[in-house]
């Protein structure tokens, strides 16, 4: 018997493979399915079933990919929606994977048809709840996806799901949600990578509310909604295009790359230090680690994409992009920025400011614009009194508020999002930019007596 | 943060790596430690702590190996015993691994000083209990290791540990024991690979007893004790010899192999079909899958060991042997039995009987000796009325009961242990042997009307 | 710069990847192209060119597969034939791969349009000759593929190619042919895995002939022609079907397998010992190592194929079959013969005879039919006086010569081909069969005074 | 049979594994021997012989490491020297590895006892010459290692070796030297990765000389001699310390790292862009790719070494250091420079200048010091008229020539060595430094009309 979890870093997406006696099933597969195929094969099992907990909005689900590779039957939730693949699931429906029983439990709220699946152990005891985006470790799924009009309705549904359907399963059942800490699908998912319904009952703030009313007040909120969600929602109904193989990201010579620059989006995944020091004009700085979180905010599906990245990170970058449905990946700068420079092509930079100089600058009272791009929930960690706050995802909508004549200092925890903000502003025409190396973390750690 | 389990197949031994913020700890490491080192390195963590839940008897613990490779500090339980390495643990002692707190809980019974370790999540909530051999999924640790004299005493200690120390931790805590299904350290460990204290409270038969007295009656039993336990107990106090590298198992030519045969033990890990058809005289048939379970019963630590095995299985075979402390591994027959035959060297065989012929034989009433080598707990799955029962581990003590003049048919579920029994008997001088291909499984499935 | 050779075991097929300054080319790719893609990517090169030395007859070329994955341009030889893909090559045509020049040299004889490609080093000096099937290490390509009518014509062409086009390139040029020792494309290819034109001039028997006439006498011969050649020739003109991904070989339960047996071909790749002892009725014994050599002789393209094989060998088996164009691979017996037996399904066997018993048998003068299935060129290694010779590939055409009433003992060097012969005969209705473990090798090594 | 070459990047060191019939031999192994062990095991061969072509000066040979792991017998050349391990080789001595004959040929010149080994193919024909540092592709070994006094003597020996011992082996023999392009052991080794004696005869400039006198004039020169050579020479006589396992490079937190900085050497292997933008005070910039070439020039064996490097490059960095005998490797900055900054620790920088600004600067006539650190043989590729030349290895001996009051611009082909030079100067107290991104390559490609 096999029971295994797969973490898609960045998206903090969890998928699961279970196998017994030669049969296997995947819950909420991602689109790069090689891992499931390899592990099932090693366990001498064939994937015959795929389960979706809901129509996902934050990544492209790999159900059709597995179906194409194995002939597995795909079951999806949200049966009232118009899927172009698979079979809808009924509340209470059951399947066997070898000796393992799976039972669907309708747990709406995140979406109207969201399903959880209760896995039983080989002896038939309730064992694991695949809760999708209904219940997370430390949080519950967002209820704002159908819009403000249906916010309360969905919150009520979710309340009913997590209090009246999940909680009664008992403290001892393992909780296996579709996301872990870091996902945009929950505001405050805990770092407890494995959890139980009992731990959630005790430690999850969402379970500490005393009434439906209190739940709604706490949880019925409109959250950030990256623009790529719409594409995911569309494709997850149509069925994601089948890839067959993971595509090859082509290494491009500086000359080849340069010829493509004008019509493409350029993503530079190197760290803020390298990007700040030297980058190609017009490129966006999106550190590989935050690429899953920001690609969907700042890239479009209409233009091809070029990458400046470490050759070792090509595989990870490609997987991230495919998971978000960005399939038009043209290539990467094979020789890196060193090769670009060696070819005599123009290089641009955004100054890094180190913490001691920055501290001096703060004391000096010189003209500057401090732009804090962190989210609201991070503000409690401290910040600079005089900073303006524009949450990074909303930056492009607030360009008018940002001066061009004095130096703009984007700020965040470590500097990575600051550099992304700076690269966005630069692309939009700002020249006067600088980034604090180490961000507010450095500020805090350095102990500048000023402010804060 | 990283929390990962490692399964040593066959021994069904579970070890664990936890890491946070650059620090890592291993609980009950095995001796081939490369996996821990690689995963810690990938997580950019350094192993600084090793915890033993008890002085193990069924495998050689890798604490000293990790200490030698990383400088980690080793903590062991059973402080009253005379360890030659590491530092004893106190009940209630606490450590931090990054933000993760570990707390020792004295849970005696399996051994007098057995420790469990309660891991807290990054937010400080009780999260995971590393219960060692105190509590398993579906069973509890054996209490017979100190001998029959102390059987009741140890059972009482264990009762107190699992009812009064573990149960109060609450249903929702994850249970991470030192063994899973298949281990000799628990008679009936469940296949539920991940469990919680609540699931054990509800489904583990051991928790269904109504009193200490009932517990003792049920659990205070002397179990099989493979002879290698003594060596493990000794070396786990002295500290296992440090290997440095995984040793290389040398491929031997038929000629080289032949020259070593007389002074060595020969282990043939090929399947019963291959072994039955052709093997080297004097070799024992121990299928790779059951090698961890039977090597310790039938091999000694005084003679070097030679292997006949598939080249692909060399790595697994070496790891298994090292985990059991068999370090004198001379080599394997590089060219396999085909090469041995091609060299014109003598080949022996033990006839396979297929189920239809066997069924005919049963009907015929001819003279034969049916030798059921299964364990007592398997008897309920059915068997042949006229079979004699000698549990495989006790075979060598009951040779006098087994006839030499009529054909002996060892029987087990699938035939693998039968072939081991046959190879043992053959080595001891029996000539008249045959093995039913597919064992009692074939008998059951074939539906012979006779008997059963 | 990268210059790498890939060996497809069994077929002894050599293919080559060269890369320089971001560009790469493959010469004579096989159909499982993952290795080229991975190595090119690691070298940060993109495959832009594929070269075929000739229309292959012994394997399916991977040109179209690479074209589909990378957009590379495919160049093929034999321009007079009707290809449905790629671009024909002209004698003398040149290409650059980074700084590396490749020049086509028309070297007909194996096929009318066969091309060799002369690779120059980064300094522009002649460096490596990719000679395809024109010249091998120790042999030259066969000239019989267009039939007996054109045998002399083709031999003359080849003579001219190797004496007047290749030899003048000079002793020091490296020779990189399309095949190594073991291929059916040359009768006696040497084991010298890397060679030079000079070594061939000195050591290759083909270069020792004194005249065209002598060459024709020596080399213009009709050789064995496996029936699958016709399919390869057809598909290598049409372009092999694009696979996209390596297909998954499905593990089948004994029950699933059994249901498919009647309509499928069953290939058992386990060794002769395992097969002889226990196999499924109707299956052919083709050891994994000889599968590339005999699949094309004894399997057809019309029936699906089932496998009994070690799980570890599944990947290799699938690759071998795809290289030969056998794409209808249904699955393998996941639980192996042990599982088959455990399910109570019927098992068959072919007796193994060990060398001592066989020697006794030879002395006894009992009725028996010794069937030597080796090739003519092996006969000089000795054999049994009373054996009949039928070369394995011709066995099915000579069934009438083989008795059914006395025991038939197929013989070969090691026993593997004997077991294949035995399994073929058994499928055709022979019951009275036995195989000598270790074959004539055992006979030679054992030193039976009798015969030989 | 197996014949495989291993390239140690950077050192451009070639080693070789040959195996036949279960036996294997390694020629000139490096110290991280895992590759040889793995490949021999896969080929089912055991390494029984190790051959050294000479007492190496540029890397630590892995002979003792293999001996410790396998029990192989080590043969070394230069028998007149005082080795503390192994057995000296005699001219003409022969060994068999399976069917492969190896014969020692005394080819002095690089060292007095240098041996080449002539490998014969399975049919007994001369096949491959392992020529050590006697003859390379495109060059011959240096003859200056015993000092200026013996320069002519050694050159005469080498002349005799390559003209009278190697050349007579014939054009067709494969040449397998101990180094490829990029090694410091030959000034101008060609990029022809595989060669033959005939190609060298024709294309190697060393063979174009017409007399011993001309050879001496051309080749008897004192070359750069990195200080670590002395340590290599010492340890290669004593036998390199046995490692057992590849050591683990410990990830250090910024705090741990900082505490060790004062007593350690810090090597930063990130690219010049990252280093220039932000680095730790006192660290040396040695790009991973050039680490094998410069570590031995600028690091000492007395202080421990700390690394700032990409986590993915840790394995490569450790191997490089071990090959050079730097065993005191303390750890690397686990969180990278981003983590260092986030911790608020001081960051330093060296300004990058981009080509357009640099071009402007050249035109401006402002005070500046252009410091060309390339080697003499690179000067023919063009440079800046007003630049001073100090070859990088000699930089520390010419500090007095370099001004501190005006900006110093180190120059090289791409900027990587410039940044190393800048980091050396900075450590020695220079403040006024800047590096041209893309180096002279950018200058050439950009087409600045000025100068050059």
Over residues A370-398, mean pLDDT:
91
In angstroms, the Cα distances linking A219 to A177, A223, B352 are: 18, 10, 68
Q: Is residue C6 part of a domain?
A: yes
Q: Computed from CA positions of residues A386, A392, A397, A402, in that sequence, does the dihedral angle turn out positive or negative?
A: positive
Rounded average pLDDT over D243-261? 93
Share of chain C above pLDDT 90, in %: 88
Residue A383 confidence (pLDDT) above 90: no
For residue A97, what pLDDT is reported? 98
d(CA D108, CA D88): 14
User: What CATH number has the domain bearing residue C151?
Assistant: 3.60.15.10
Q: What is the mean pLDDT of residues A34-49?
A: 94
What is the per-residue pLDDT across A265-303, written as a single tens digit (0 to 9) for each?
999 999 999 999 999 999 999 999 999 999 999 999 999
Tell me: the pLDDT tens digits for C232-255?
999 999 999 999 888 889 999 999
With residue D314 as reference, give the H or E element that holds it. Answer: helix D314-323
Query: Contact partners of D by the rule of 3+ C-beta pairs under 8 A?
Result: A, B, C
* Whether B364 and B258 share a structural domain: no
Kindly state whether residue C395 falls inside one of the protein's structural domains: yes
Residue where a domain stops, chosen among B313, B342, B371: B342
Q: Which residues of A touch D442 (CB under 8 A)?
A: 341-344
How far apart, in whole angstroms, are the C-alpha atoms of residue B128 and residue B137? 14
Query: Is 50 exceeded by the pLDDT of residue A452?
Result: no
Whether residues B65 and B152 fall in one domain: yes
Indicate whether D452 pLDDT > 60. no
DSSP B392: G
What is the distance in angstroms between the Cα of C396 and the nearest Cα belonging to chain D? 34
Q: Which residues of A touch C (CB under 8 A)?
A: 21-22, 37, 41, 44-46, 69-70, 244-245, 248, 250-253, 311, 314, 334-335
Residue among A336, A337, A437 whose CB faces D341 most closely: A437
Does B316 fall in a domain? Answer: yes
pLDDT score, position B377: 81
- What pLDDT shows up at residue D363? 86
What confidence score (pLDDT) does residue C372 get? Answer: 97
Q: What is the mean pLDDT of residues A375-381?
A: 84
Task: Return mean pLDDT, chain B.
Answer: 94
A108 has pLDDT over 60: yes
Contact state of A354 with D337 under an 8 Å Cβ cutoff: no
The predicted structure's pLDDT at residue C452:
42
Owner of token pair 């007040």:
A217
What is the predicted pLDDT for the residue at D184? 77
Q: Based on the domain organization, do D81 and D55 belong to the same domain?
A: yes
| Cβ separation B193–A125 shorter than 8 A | no
Q: Which residues of C touch D123 (CB under 8 A)?
A: 190-192, 203
Rounded Cα distance between D446 and C229, Å, is 57
Clarify whether residues A80 and A194 are in a common domain: yes
Q: What is the mean pLDDT of residues B33-37?
A: 95
pLDDT in tens, D411-451: 999 999 999 999 999 999 999 999 999 999 999 888 776 55
Contacts of C97 in chain A (CB under 8 A): none
pLDDT tens readout for residues A411-428: 999 999 999 999 999 999
One domain for residues A111 and A160: yes
Summarize pLDDT for B392-434 with one digit per residue, the tens: 999 999 999 999 999 999 999 999 999 999 999 999 999 999 9
Average pLDDT over residues C164-191: 91
- The residue assigned the tokens 């242990």 is B417
Same domain for D171 and D256, yes or no, is: no
Of B273, B307, B342, which marks where a domain is finished? B342
Is D452 contained in some domain? Answer: no
In C, which residues are within 8 Å of D171 by CB distance?
Answer: 170-172, 196, 198
Q: What is the DSSP-derived secondary structure letter of residue C262?
A: G
Sheet with C408-411, side-by-side order of all strands: C388-389, C369-372, C408-411
Measured in angstroms, the CA of A368 and the nearest CA of chain D are apart by 22
Q: Which residues pair with B23 in a beta bridge?
A: B20, B46
Better-scored residue on pLDDT, B10 or A217: A217
Judge whether B48 lies within some domain: yes
Name the more confident of D156 and A379.
D156
| Chain C residues with beta carbon closer than 8 angstroms to that of B343 | 438, 441-442, 445
Helix (H) or strand (E) holding B19: strand B13-20
The residues facing B32 across adjacent strands are: none
Of the candidates A274, A347, A444, which has its C-beta nearest D274's C-beta? A274
Same domain, A133 and A272: no
Domain total in chain D: 3
Share of chain A above pLDDT 70, in %: 99
Contact A245 C248 (CB under 8 A): no
pLDDT above 90 (res B345): yes
Same domain, B333 and B193: no
pLDDT in tens, B221-279: 999 899 999 999 999 999 999 998 888 899 999 999 999 999 999 999 999 999 999 99
Per the structure, the complete domain to which residue D288 belongs is given by 251-342
Is the CB of residue C326 less than 8 Å from the CB of residue C299?
A: yes
Q: Residue B1 above 50 pLDDT?
A: yes
Q: What is the mean pLDDT of residues B362-368?
A: 86
Q: Both A9 and A147 in a single domain?
A: yes
- Do A361 and A440 reside in the same domain of the chain? yes
pLDDT above 90: percentage of residues in chain B: 88
Please give the full DSSP string across D417-446, using - where no structure is assigned.
HHHHHHHHHHHTT---B-EETTHHHHHHHH
Q: What is the pLDDT of residue D171?
A: 97
Domain-embedded: residue C451: no
The DSSP code for D380 is G
Flag whether pLDDT at D224 surpasses 80. Answer: yes
pLDDT of residue A343: 92
Cα–Cα–Cα angle for A9, A14, A19, rounded to 5 degrees? 125
Which residue, among B283, B285, B337, B342, would best test binding to C if mutated, counting the most C CBs under 10 Å from its CB? B342
pLDDT single digits (tens) C295-308? 999 999 999 999 99
Residue among A16, A18, A126, A196 with most chain B CBs within 10 A, to mutate:
A196
Encode pLDDT of A239-249 as tens digits. 999 998 888 89
Q: pLDDT > 70: what percent of chain D?
A: 99
Last residue of a domain, one of D342, D369, D402: D342
Whether residue B183 has pLDDT greater than 90:
no
Whether the pLDDT of residue C448 is over 80: the answer is no
| Per-residue model confidence (pLDDT) at position A451 | 52
CA-based nearest residue to C115, from C161, C84, C156, C173:
C161
Provide mean pLDDT across the span A101-120: 97
Report in angstroms the alpha-carbon separations of B401 from B226, B404, D230, D394: 21, 10, 74, 87
Instruction: Decide if A383 is inside a domain.
Output: yes
Each residue's pLDDT tens digit, B90-112: 999 999 999 999 999 999 999 99
Distance between CA atoms of residues D235 and D241, nearest Å:
8
CATH of the domain at B290: 3.40.250.10
Tell me which of D20, D34, D44 to substitute to probe the interface with B (most B C-beta atoms closer than 10 Å): D44
Q: Is the pLDDT of residue C451 over 60?
A: no
Residue D196 lies in a domain: yes
pLDDT over threshold 60, residue B451:
no
Residues B43 and B123 reside in one and the same domain: yes
- Say what angle helices C355-364 and C439-446 make with each other, to 10 degrees: 80
**How much is the pLDDT for D449?**
60
Say whether C338 and B312 touch across the interface (CB within 8 A): no
- Calculate ∠ Cα D239-D245-D250, nearest 5°: 115
Interchain proximity C172–D174, CB inside 8 Å: no
Q: Are residues A306 and A213 in the same domain?
A: no
C120-151: pLDDT as tens digits: 999 999 999 999 999 999 999 999 999 999 99
Closest CB to B3: pick one of A3, A194, A201: A194
């Amino acid at each position: 018997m096999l029971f295994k979890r797969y973490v898609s870093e960045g998206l903090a997406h969890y998928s699961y493979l279970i196998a017994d006696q030669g049969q296997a099933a995947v819950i909420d597969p991602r689109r790069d399915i090689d891992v499931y195929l390899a592990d099932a094969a090693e366990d001498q099992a064939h994937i015959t079933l795929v389960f979706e907990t809901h129509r996902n909005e934050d990544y492209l689900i790999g159900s059709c990919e597995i179906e194409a590779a194995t002939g597995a039957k795909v079951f999806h939730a949200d049966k009232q929606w118009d899927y172009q693949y698979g079979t809808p699931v009924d509340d209470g429906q059951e399947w066997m994977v070898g000796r393992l029983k799976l039972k669907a439990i309708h747990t709406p709220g995140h979406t109207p048809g969201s399903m959880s699946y209760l896995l039983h152990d080989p002896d038939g005891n309730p064992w694991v709840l695949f809760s999708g985006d209904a219940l997370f470790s430390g949080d519950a799924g967002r209820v704002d996806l159908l819009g403000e009009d249906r916010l309360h309705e969905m919150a009520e549904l979710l309340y009913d799901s997590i209090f009246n359907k999940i909680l009664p399963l008992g403290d001892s059942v393992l909780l296996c949600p579709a996301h872990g800490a870091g996902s945009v699908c929950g505001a405050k998912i805990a770092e407890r990578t494995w959890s139980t319904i009992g731990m959630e009952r005790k430690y999850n703030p969402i379970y500490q509310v005393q009434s439906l009313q209190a739940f709604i007040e706490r949880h019925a909120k409109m959250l950030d909604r990256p623009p790529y969600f719409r594409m995911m929602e569309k494709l997850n109904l149509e069925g994601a295009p089948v890839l067959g193989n993971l595509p090859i990201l082509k290494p491009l010579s500086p000359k080849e790359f340069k010829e493509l620059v004008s019509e493409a989006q350029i993503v530079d995944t190197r760290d803020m230090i390298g990007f700040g020091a030297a980058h190609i004009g017009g490129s966006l700085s999106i550190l590989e680690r935050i690429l899953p979180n920001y690609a969907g905010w700042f890239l479009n599906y209409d233009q091809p994409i070029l990458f400046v990245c470490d050759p070792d990170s090509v595989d990870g970058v490609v997987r991230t992009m495919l998971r978000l449905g960005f399939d038009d990946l043209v290539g990467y700068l094979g020789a890196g920025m060193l090769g670009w420079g060696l070819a005599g092509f123009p290089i641009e930079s955004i100054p890094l400011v180190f913490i001691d100089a920055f501290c001096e600058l703060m004391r000096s009272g010189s003209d500057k614009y401090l732009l804090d791009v962190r989210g609201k929930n991070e503000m409690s960690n401290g910040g600079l009194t005089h900073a303006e706050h524009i949450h990074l995802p909303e930056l492009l909508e607030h360009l008018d508020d940002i001066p061009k004549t004095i130096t703009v200092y984007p700020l965040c925890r470590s500097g990575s999002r600051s550099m992304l903000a700076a690269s966005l502003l630069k692309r939009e025409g700002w020249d006067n930019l600088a980034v604090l190396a180490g961000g507010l973390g450095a500020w805090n750690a350095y102990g500048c007596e000023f402010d804060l």
